[in-house]
Chain A
Amino acid sequence: MSNLNYFLIRRVHSLSGLVPLGLFLFAHLTTNSMAAFGQEAFAHKVELIHSLGPLLPFVEAAMIFVPLAIHIVLGIFIALTARSNTTDLGYTRNWAYTLQRWTGWAALAFIVYHTMELRFLDEANTGALRGMMLNGRELTAGDIFFIHMAEEFQSVIYMALYVVGGIAVIYHFANGLCTFCMTWGITVGPRSQQIMAWIAFGAGLALFGMLMTSIAGFHFRHDPAVYQQMQDLLNNAPH
């Protein structure tokens, strides 16, 4: 591999973490936070995304799945070259480095689970229910997701999984933001790097807030009756 190609590949990994994946993370958690305002608010927000219509799969592929796949494959190669040594050298940034790799693995597992569960497994369900009427509301994808997730988030284990998985993703992004600025030569000295660390910490905190808002939203806005009704609808739906 030529030096230039190697460099470009590494830079693609670095960049993809920020744009589009980082941006997607913000958008995704913003949407999910709407859960705190209830099914309708959430569904409305989701509908905005779905208004892309037939373009949606392409946008998703370009903005999420392809960059994510690239980021993951390259990330695995990078993580495999590390030999962490925090036992002897417990400096903050050394921990940050090690955690970046650990959270990378954790995030990978979480994202695989999360995507499998919601993006594909429920695809059929949402397709089947879409357009049906429930409590005087025409069900949209957002409604179906909300009802489904609210039910899931009654489980403590499920909530814990999302808290841990979410934190891993958020940490990976926030620390990645710092190292991105170092790697690209945007923050050169220790001072600028420290400032960037605070900014990233702020961003991480905001994302964490959104994560907790989302989980809490789904958890507390749960209505078992609605879920049961949706199940009934699903069972009675023509196959």
Chain B
Amino acid sequence: MADKKVHLIIKRQENPDSAPYWEEFEVPHTPGMNVISALMEIRLNPVTRDGKHVRPVTWDSGCLEEVCGACSMRINGRPRQSCSALVDQLEQPVRLEPFSKFPVLRDLMVDRTPMFEALKRVKAWVPVDGTYAMGSGEKIDPDQQGTMYKYSECMTCGCCLEACPQYNDKSAFIGASAIGQAHLFNMNPTGKNLKKDRLDELMGPGGVVDCGNAQNCVRVCPKGIPLTDAIAAIGGEVTVHAVKKLLRL
């Protein structure tokens, strides 16, 4: 299999304002290779399938072991991390596209700033008094820790938002990842001090009620985070919260 090749079709875009176009590449196949190594091959010799010299493909990446969340893209239509997308497990030609729900900066790289802004909106943090020695935190039941741990693995990669039919330019929906983080910090013994603020935020436009229960988020999450559990749980909590507010309890 010395001359086995990998065929890639890549959606390219020069800059944020220009029109996208497609280019096809062919790179040598190596055992166990992922989409990133295929892109690295192109970078070494940026020539398209029909022999045209082009500028190297731009893409975002970091750890290459699926913990940093950088290398998200649409691979054969599915939002996922390109580092863990093994070429042998993909249908060829492999179609690479940037996320469609975020502004494209260039080629496969997009601007995911709104995701980090969303974390501010839901106050995804524990309000500690300070960093000085104040003793340890509260004891936590190991089962509870296990539940919280799943949510704390969210790497803000954006797959859940890309897959969400409710997350788009016509809707203000905040998306599953931020709701998951709100749920995580509501579970923390100190983080829950800000629970009311978080529920207030998620009650409004773009909040949890804008979820359409398509549940794509949980299907595409590379970390298998139970995002829909969080959405349902927050949905219930927001209801109670709203009733309390209504009755001034």
Contacts and interface: CB of A to CB of B under 8 A. Distances in A.
Do A and B interact directly, with beta carbons closer than 8 Å?
Answer: yes
A88 interface: yes
Contacts of A98: 165, 214
A170 to B, nearest CB: 18
Interface stretch (B57-65, B107-115, B226-234): B226-234
Given A85-B216, A91-B219, 4 more contacts: A4-B203, A91-B215, A185-B237, A189-B232
Given A91-B219, A184-B236, A188-B229, A7 B214 contact: no
A178 to B, nearest CB: 8
Interface of A: 1-4, 6-8, 10-11, 14, 78, 80-85, 87-89, 91, 93-94, 96-98, 100, 178-179, 182-190, 193
Contacts of A14: 209
A123 B219 CA distance: 51
Interface string B156-175: 00000001011010110100
Contact of B234 (A87, A185, A189): A185
Nearest to A189: B229
Contacts of B171: 81-82
A96 B214 contact: yes
Given A85-B165, A188-B232, A190-B228, A183 B213 contact: yes
A182 B209 CA distance: 11
7 contacts: A3-B201, A4-B246, A10-B210, A81-B168, A83-B165, A87-B77, A183-B235
B212 A82 contact: yes
B242 interface: yes
Interface of B: 74, 77-78, 163, 165-166, 168, 170-171, 173, 200-201, 203-205, 207, 209-216, 218-220, 226, 228-229, 231-239, 242, 245-246
Given A94-B215, A97-B212, A182 B170 contact: no
A191 to B, nearest CB: 10
B239 A184 contact: yes
Contact of A183 (B74, B200, B209): B209
A89 B209 contact: no
A3 B210 CA distance: 12
For the complex, would chain B's binding face be called helix, strand, loop or mixed by DSSP majority? helix
Given A4-B246, A97-B214, A188-B233, A89 B203 contact: no
Nearest to B97: A88
A7 B220 contact: no
Contacts of B163: 85, 89
B229 to A, nearest CB: 5
B245 A4 contact: yes
B219 to A, nearest CB: 5
B195 to A, nearest CB: 14
A140 to B, nearest CB: 43
B214 A81 contact: no
B210 A81 contact: yes
A89 B213 contact: no
A82 to B, nearest CB: 5
Residue with the highest number of chain B CB atoms closer than 10 Å, among A7, A84, A94: A7
Nearest to A88: B77
Contacts of A7: 203-204, 207, 209, 238, 242
Nearest to A9: B209
A184 B238 CA distance: 9
B233 A83 contact: no
B235 A185 contact: yes
Contact of A185 (B205, B219, B233): B233
A95 B135 CA distance: 51
Given A10-B209, A88-B78, A183-B209, A93 B239 contact: no
A1 B209 CA distance: 15
Contacts of A100: 212
Contacts of B207: 3, 6-7
